[in-house]
Amino acid sequence: MRGDRSITERILNVLRPYASNWSGTLGRGDLVIPQREIPRVIHEILDALHDDTVEKDVGDHELFDVLMAARRSASVQDQAGLLRKHFRILLR
């Protein structure tokens, strides 16, 4: 969940300069992005998403926690499902 919050904050930081004021016909929450800026904004959002989704090795503590939770599962299939839910498993 912490990663989701980080991604959200990064995207909001990209969009924040384009937030409209509350005057005129624009309302709260509207964005005003000049057409020439749209490609740059899209690239910055994609970069923010890519930075947090880069595959990382799992730490010992996180691996231990998931393995201990998997031990309490009723079946081997449930254990494998729990591991797949938390980690990307690659065959080598």
pLDDT tens digits, one per residue of 1-31: 445 677 888 888 888 888 876 666 656 678 8
For 82-89, which contacts have Cβ atoms below 8 Å and span 24 or more sequence positions? 86/62, 87/58, 88/55
The boundaries of the domain holding residue 62 are 57-92
Same domain membership, residue 13 and residue 30: yes
Same domain membership, residue 67 and residue 32: no
SS3 call for 19: strand
Query: Which positions ≥6 away from 73 have C-beta within 8 Å?
Result: 79, 82
Same domain membership, residue 73 and residue 33: no
Q: How many C-beta neighbours within 10 Å does residue 48 have?
A: 19
Residue 40 reports pLDDT greater than 90? yes
Number of domains making up the chain:
2
Please give the pLDDT value at position 1: 44
* CA distances from residue 52 to 6, 29, 83 in whole angstroms, order as listed: 8, 25, 20
